[in-house]
Amino acid sequence: QVQLVESGGGVVQPGRSLRLSCAASGFIFSSYGMHWVRQAPGKGLEWVAVIWYDGSNKYYGDSVKGRFTISRDNSKNTLYLQTNSLRAEDTAVYYCARVKGSAETAPFDYWGQGTLVTVSS
Amino acid sequence: SYVLTQPPSVSMAPGKTARITCGGNNIGSQSVHWYQQKPGQAPVLVIFYDSDRPSGIPERFSGSNSGNTATLTISRVGAGDEADYYCQVWDSSSDHWVFGGGTKLTVL
């Protein structure tokens, strides 16, 4: 069965960095695009970034562009999100999610359980 | 960027039909997906491409999309349907994936 397991969250001071990971299993990871989506405490879902199945294309939400970097290692079945220059407003649960199919219009069909990032001094 | 507007809350008596709307400019020309999120859990896809249901999602869940409004319909609602529901589209003009603000469904 499809499994996505995030890790790497924690408490970090403003301005510092964290690298989040998402370990995938139960499907051919190298055939699927992947997203990061976050949710601030008590708030709604916010799309963060996407990477194509082969890493050829990457797009970012306006609030993280220039600070966050999405990447993947298909040999390790793992998705990453490098988060730099963290701000208090980046505090959220970060989810990885798989793209159902290959089109930009495709939905997110599987989600991990999330990893909490808290930015605080 | 493209904006999706959802009512913050919808309440319905058990056994009745709940309708959750998602408004957007000419959203009828977009592919809309719906996610259910229960407290402390990850979102779950319940409707994709406007009206398709993933395997394992009850037939009570259906969707439609036309004009400036997409609608998620849940018939015969029960306590197990209490959750936050989010609509989502891809905005081709910005290459951004967009979520609505979410609607909290309460079963009275």
Interval B56-96: pLDDT, tens: 999 999 999 999 999 999 999 999 999 999 999 999 999 99
pLDDT tens track for A47-78: 999 999 999 999 999 999 999 999 999 999 99
The one-character DSSP state at B53 is -
Q: Does B40 touch chain A (CB under 8 A)?
A: no
Q: By C-alpha distance, which of A74, A93, A83 is closest to A28?
A: A74
Tokens matching residue B30: 């977009």
Q: Is B57 on the interface with A (CB under 8 A)?
A: no
Q: Which residue, chain included where needed, has tokens 């495709």?
A: A106
Nearest beta carbon to residue A111 from set B43, B84, B95: B43
